[in-house]
Every structure is written in C-alpha cells, then in structure tokens.
Amino acid sequence: MKKIRVFGAIFIIIFSISACTQSSEKVSEAEETNIDSEFTLAKPEAVGLNSVIINELIDSIQTGYYPNRHSLLIYKDKQLVVEEYFTGKDENWGDDLGIVTYNDSLLHDLRSVSKSVVSACIGIAIAQGKIKSVDQPIFDFFEDYQQFNSEGREELTIKHLLTMTSGLKWNEEISYDNPENSEIQMIESGDAIGFVLSREIVDKPGTVWKYNGGTTELLAEIIHRVSDKNVHEFAKEFLFLPIGISNSEWTISPATNSPAAASGLRLTPRAMLKFGMLYLQDGIWDGKQIIPKEWVKESFEPHIMRPDGQGYGYQFWILDYQIDGKTLHVPVAVGNGDQRIFFDLQNKMLLITTAGNYNQWDIENDASALLKKIYSSFTLNN
C-alpha cells in the first residue's frame, strides 16, 4: 500500500506493483488551496499550469515513458502545486536497494547535487569569517600538504575549486565502473586530499572547465579544517536545521573516513525543495539570512563556459533551454541518476525530481524533457 497526497484530501489506494509500471495518483480537479505544516499547497491552475497536461505527464511517468522516476515536485509563486511519488528500482551510493515505493519521508541519493550543498556551506563559512574570500589560496588550509604547493598548484584558489577550473589532470568523463575514473581512484587511494592535491596541472587555473569531484572533496575538507566540523555536521547546524531539515544522511567515504562530499548526501525531495526555496528567496528563511544574498547571486552566475557552450557557477550548472522560441535561463543542481533541482528565477518556480537512472547518460526522456513538458503546460496559460 502507498500513502497518496492529494492537495486538500488524502486517499489510500490499494494496488499491485509490477516491475515495469510506476505508481502515483493524479492531480485532482477539485483540489483547493490548503496549508500543511511546511508548505502552502495549491492546485496547478492557481499558478498558470494546466492540470490536464500535468496529469498526462504523471501518466507518462507511470507507464515508463520517463523511466524509473521516483518523485516530482513543482513549486511556484510560493506554493507547492505538484507533489508526486512513484515506485522504482534504486540504489544507495551504488548498493542495490531493489524496488522502493517512495513517499515524502524517505531519503534519496542526491549524488552530485551534494556538490551544490557543499557550495552553500562555503558561502556560509565565508560569511562567518572562517574563510577570507573565494580568492584565498587553497594551500592556506593545507599546511600538511605543502610538498604539492608548486608547479602551478600554488595559484589555486577556492574559486577555482568552486567553478571546476583548477586545471588539475582529472578524468570523470568515463564510467564510474571504470577503474581509470579519477573519482574512483581518489576513493580507493586511502588519502583523497593528497590524491587530488598531487594531480598534475595541465591547464592554467581559471581558464578551462573540467568536471572534477575531487575539488569538491577539497572544499569539504576546508570546511572541516576551519570549523572543526565535517561537512555534514556543518551543514546540519548552519544550513539544514535553520530551514527545517531534520532528516539527512551523508555516506562516509573510505578515502577520508568523512562524508563523501561530491556525491554522498541523502535527503527527502521535500528537503531538496527547501534548499531550492532558500536560494529562490535570496538566502533568507523566516526573516533570517542563512546564505548571503551576494553568494546566491554569484553561485548562479556563469563564471566559466563549458565545452558545450553552457555555463557553470559555484557548483551549479547554468543551462539555457529553447522552449517555444524563447530562451529559458536555468541554474540547476545536477546529480547522477537524474537527480535535479531546476531554479527558474524569472518565473519564481522550482522543479525537483529524483530517479534511479545511475550511470545512464543517454536517456532521451530525462529530467530536462520533464522540464520542457511542464513548460508546455505553463505556456498554454500565458
């Protein structure tokens, strides 16, 4: 059995789960605006979305057109207008969980969305005065690794780590099942920090974007060294608890015996929504500035252009989508398996979705296709 959320009413539906079909309920046409303990709930029409198209989208998830999707949340104009959970195959940092029936209280792998959370922690640490600025050299924090502070690595700053422009030799472009993958080598190295800092400089720092989870591990270790708290402890105290997130897990990396900063965080989709709301609200929660407003702005700016012509901020992807002849500029927190938080600042909208499509890079009907389908609903009403 599965608990089903309908805004304004709750129904229990008894059903059989098959391996090829996902389950959820559709948006009720009779729903009314409601307040629950955490969010203002409303029907899609209240914010200009067409429920018929939204229901078609949910049907398509159920039939597998958008494969192995586990959740879909849409938040617009300060209202949660869609909240759907599904059943599908999943993992916990590579460990098979089998078939999971998701709801609003179950944790889910965020994978590289974890990187965006680490970025938020860096912004908070700068605001606390624990880090001088993004321009501070990283070897200020690694006195025990000074043997690597040479051959161009002495130029490295926190900003280079945030924007993945370190210039360090690194390869995450191959499968994570491949032992030549640099992140896998880092995890198995026994000394993640030394492994990353010892990499050869192959490009001048700040000039070339190269995806590098190792630099996120360095950022997390800097948090640890300046606060005496690992990144999960720091996030819980200064980020999660202030915005009402009380349930989280962060997988421990065997390379550091500390949270796997680049990929190990697990949150509920509702917690992901709260994180998104914080950025949508310029870092303010209940009148308190949790993350500096300027940090939010800088995080969503394209500090470097990637080889595909799209931008990259402070551990956020900056993507442009062409929809109905218009360009939609969207910062995105991106995680392996098709975990996404889309930030539509112009329309004050968030799309949160989780899935179990790990290491599958060629899925046509992925989270971006979901986004475009939702905007076909939105544009019909505008």
pTM for the predicted model, two decimal places: 0.91
Do 167 and 40 fall into the same domain?
Answer: no
DSSP string spanning 257-321?
A: TEE-TTT-EEE-HHHHHHHHHHHHTTTEETTEESS-HHHHHHHTS--EE-TTS-EE-SS-EEEEE
Residue 87 falls inside a structural domain: yes
Do 143 and 274 fall into the same domain?
Answer: yes
Q: Which residue, of 297, 314, 331, is where some domain finishes? A: 314
Q: Which residue, of 296, 314, 332, is where some domain finishes? A: 314
Do 132 and 234 fall into the same domain?
Answer: yes
* Separation of first and last alpha carbons in the chain: 39
- Do 6 and 42 contact (CB within 8 A), yes or no? no
Do 17 and 99 fall into the same domain?
Answer: yes
Tell me which H or E stretch contains 373.
helix 367-380
Do 87 and 7 fall into the same domain?
Answer: yes
Domain containing 78: what range?
1-103+372-382
Residue 22 falls inside a structural domain: yes
Do 81 and 18 fall into the same domain?
Answer: yes
Do 85 and 216 fall into the same domain?
Answer: no
Q: What is the pLDDT of residues 154-166, one digit of tens each?
A: 999 999 999 999 9
In this prediction, residue 232 carries a pLDDT of 98
Alpha-carbon distance of 349 to 227, in angstroms, equals 34
CATH code of the domain containing 174: 3.40.710.10
Q: pLDDT class for 326, splitting at 50, 70, 90? A: confident
Q: What is the pLDDT of residues 198-214, one digit of tens each?
A: 999 999 999 999 999 99
Residue 330 falls inside a structural domain: no
* Amino acid identity, position 268: T
In this prediction, residue 12 carries a pLDDT of 31
Do 93 and 170 fall into the same domain?
Answer: no
Residue 12 falls inside a structural domain: yes
Checking if the pLDDT of 303 tops 50, the result is yes
Alpha-carbon distance of 197 to 161, in angstroms, equals 11
In this prediction, residue 36 carries a pLDDT of 64
Residue 345 falls inside a structural domain: no
DSSP 64: T
Do 127 and 60 fall into the same domain?
Answer: no
Q: What is the pLDDT of residues 229-283, one digit of tens each?
A: 999 999 999 999 999 999 999 999 988 899 999 999 999 999 999 999 999 999 9
Q: Which residue, of 314, 331, 351, is where some domain finishes? A: 314
Residue 337 falls inside a structural domain: no
Do 308 and 379 fall into the same domain?
Answer: no
Do 125 and 93 fall into the same domain?
Answer: no
Q: Per mean pLDDT, which range of 13-27, 100-114, 206-220 is the poorest? A: 13-27
Whose CA is closest to 218, among 291, 136, 135, 118? 118
Residue 233 falls inside a structural domain: yes
Distances (CA, A) of 284 to 19, 123, 296: 42, 13, 10
Do 143 and 224 fall into the same domain?
Answer: yes
- Do 237 and 120 contact (CB within 8 A), yes or no? no
How many independent structural domains does the chain possess?
A: 2
Residue 75 falls inside a structural domain: yes
DSSP reduced 3-state for 101: strand
Average pLDDT of the chain to the nearest whole number: 91
In this prediction, residue 336 carries a pLDDT of 97
Q: What is the pLDDT of residues 54-67, one digit of tens each?
A: 999 999 999 999 99
